[in-house]
């Protein structure tokens, strides 16, 4: 059974009277890879800095192994941090960068300062070089390393002191896409090899899903949802989570009864239960869960307004009753064509209404990437278009 290591209890943080964290409650298990995910300004880095001791919460408690550590300074916590800017020493080689923290005298239980023996320093540095796959790079200067190699040096320097927790604040932000993907695998491998807790901050949902045991989705200084990557993606709690994690079509619906939801005056079978009869709800349909069929066989019928080739798939924007849906498919439906769609019950997820209802889901103004290329004379679906009422 997982052992709890860190707990934030009713933590609030204010700066100049502005609340940036609003009553956060969160626990983190030993040896867990947990990611704080959300847009800029949501409070994720503030949460990380509170755990690291760089900030003291305005109210609430921070517990480490059951002990309150609000007033414990960063250097006395068994926690280290890797920042987006690695802050490596350019005048030192790889070996000395990693060894730097070990050479600083430590105060023992009796109050005396003691230095680690050189033999132990060498053993621990070489162990770290092995773990981060940099054996043979000991004498390299920092300026001779790639971005990914520099990041691994920064991680090794943070881990060589054997912390119980490593905090990572968007450490892949400066890397190109290919290297970011490679380093995602490296970070997960290193975390498993070290057997310690990683707490990772990012706004990149793909990173969060790829690496994490647990994802904490944040917005507006509050936690919106906590769960495994699969739970967060497949069972979002509200429209914000559904929109932020992956692509989503988010629609207004009415829960007619358990297992039956109504969209556009058509009833669809779903797997959701526990709602009030005729309760207004938000409905999430992922683009990959929609099947394109001939128009006369569809549960709904619409017109293709945009097609974007994405390599392994086409991203197709389809107009249903003036509301634009995103469909991801390997089959091309050209702009202007009429199509039908079918959705299996497990492809429909029903959520209760929230403060985010109505804010997401329509792809009519999604981004420049999905800018409509339809004919200037083409109007939206409406009365007389031939769609089912």
The verdict on residue 221 lying in a domain is yes
Looking at per-residue confidence, does 33 or 181 come out higher? 33
- Inter-residue contact 345 to 331 (CB < 8 Å): no
When pLDDT is cut at 50, 70 and 90, the band that residue 39 belongs to is very high
Question: So what's the pLDDT on residue 82?
Answer: 87
Same domain, 199 and 325: no
pLDDT in tens, 72-117: 999 899 999 988 777 899 999 999 999 998 988 777 667 777 888 8
Same domain, 256 and 224: no
Same domain, 205 and 285: no
When pLDDT is cut at 50, 70 and 90, the band that residue 384 belongs to is very low
pLDDT in tens, 199-247: 999 999 999 999 999 999 999 999 999 999 999 999 999 999 999 998 9
pLDDT in tens, 316-342: 999 998 899 999 999 999 999 999 999
Same domain, 131 and 17: yes
Question: So what's the pLDDT on residue 173?
Answer: 74
Domains in the chain: how many in total? 2
The verdict on residue 350 lying in a domain is yes
Question: So what's the pLDDT on residue 109?
Answer: 64
pLDDT in tens, 131-184: 888 999 999 999 999 888 888 899 999 999 899 999 999 888 767 777 788 888
Question: So what's the pLDDT on residue 174?
Answer: 67
Same domain, 48 and 172: yes
Pinpoint the alpha helices (H) of the chain.
44-52, 94-99, 118-131, 147-159, 177-194, 205-211, 229-234, 239-244
The verdict on residue 240 lying in a domain is no
Cα–Cα distance measured from residue 322 to residue 318, given in angstroms and rounded to the nearest whole number: 9
Cα–Cα distance measured from residue 6 to residue 222, given in angstroms and rounded to the nearest whole number: 18
Question: So what's the pLDDT on residue 185?
Answer: 87
Question: So what's the pLDDT on residue 212?
Answer: 95
Q: Residue 162 CA to chain centroid, in angstroms?
A: 26
Same domain, 218 and 122: yes
The verdict on residue 380 lying in a domain is no
Is 368 a residue whose pLDDT tops 60?
no
Give the domain range for residue 302: 248-370
The verdict on residue 243 lying in a domain is no
Same domain, 63 and 95: yes
Domain stops at, among 232, 261, 289: 232
Same domain, 141 and 99: yes
Return all residues near 269 (Cβ < 8 A) that are at least 6 apart. 259, 260, 345, 348
The verdict on residue 132 lying in a domain is yes
* Block residue for tokens 């990572």: 168
The verdict on residue 375 lying in a domain is no
Same domain, 47 and 147: yes
The verdict on residue 381 lying in a domain is no
- Averaged confidence pLDDT in the chain: 89
Same domain, 47 and 105: yes
Question: So what's the pLDDT on residue 68?
Answer: 96
CATH for 220: 3.40.50.300
Domain stops at, among 201, 232, 263: 232
Name the percent of the chain lying above pLDDT 70: 92
Cα–Cα distance measured from residue 313 to residue 330, given in angstroms and rounded to the nearest whole number: 5
Q: From the CB of residue 106, how many other CB atoms can be counted at a distance below 10 Å?
A: 12
CATH for 311: 2.40.50.140
Cα–Cα distance measured from residue 192 to residue 198, given in angstroms and rounded to the nearest whole number: 10
- What angle in degrees, to the nearest 10, is found between the helix axes of 118-131 and 147-159? 130
Same domain, 24 and 167: yes
């Amino acid at each position: 059974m997982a052992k709890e290591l860190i707990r934030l209890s009713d933590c609030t943080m204010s700066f100049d009277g502005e609340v940036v964290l609003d009553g956060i409650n969160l626990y983190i298990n030993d040896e867990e890879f947990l990611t704080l995910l959300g847009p800029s300004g949501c409070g994720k880095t503030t949460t990380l800095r509170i755990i690291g001791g760089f900030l003291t919460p305005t109210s609430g408690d921070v517990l480490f192994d059951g002990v309150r550590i609000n007033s414990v300074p960063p250097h006395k916590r068994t926690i280290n941090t890797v920042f987006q800017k690695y802050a490596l020493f350019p005048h030192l080689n790889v070996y000395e960068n990693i060894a730097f923290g070990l050479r600083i005298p430590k105060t023992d239980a009796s109050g005396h300062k003691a230095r680690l023996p050189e033999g132990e320093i060498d053993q621990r540095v070489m162990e770290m070089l092995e773990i981060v796959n940099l054996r043979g790079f000991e004498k390299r200067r920092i300026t001779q390393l790639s971005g990914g190699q520099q990041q691994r040096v920064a991680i090794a320097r943070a881990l060589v002191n054997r912390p119980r927790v490593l905090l990572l604040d968007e450490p892949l932000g400066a890397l190109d896409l290919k290297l970011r993907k490679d380093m995602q695998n490296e970070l997960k491998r290193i975390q498993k090899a070290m057997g310690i807790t990683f707490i990772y901050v990012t706004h990149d949902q793909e990173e969060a899903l790829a690496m994490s045991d647990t994802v904490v989705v944040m917005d507006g200084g509050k936690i919106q949802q906590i769960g495994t990557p699969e739970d967060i993606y497949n069972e979002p709690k509200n429209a914000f989570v559904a929109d932020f994690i992956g692509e989503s079509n988010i629609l207004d619906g009415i829960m007619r009864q358990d297992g039956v939801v109504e969209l556009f005056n058509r009833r669809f079978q779903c797997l959701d239960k526990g709602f009030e009869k005729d309760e207004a709800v938000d409905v999430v349909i992922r683009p990959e869960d929609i099947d394109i069929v001939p128009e006369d066989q569809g549960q709904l019928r619409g017109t293709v307004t945009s097609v974007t080739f994405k390599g392994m798939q086409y991203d197709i924007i389809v107009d249903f009753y003036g509301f634009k849906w995103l469909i991801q498919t390997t089959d091309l439906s050209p702009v202007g064509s009429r199509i039908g769609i079918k959705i299996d019950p497990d492809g429909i997820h029903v959520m209760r209404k929230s403060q985010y209802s109505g804010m997401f889901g329509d792809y009519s103004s999604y981004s420049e990437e999905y800018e409509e290329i339809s004919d200037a004379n083409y109007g939206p679906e409406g009365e007389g278009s031939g769609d089912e009422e």
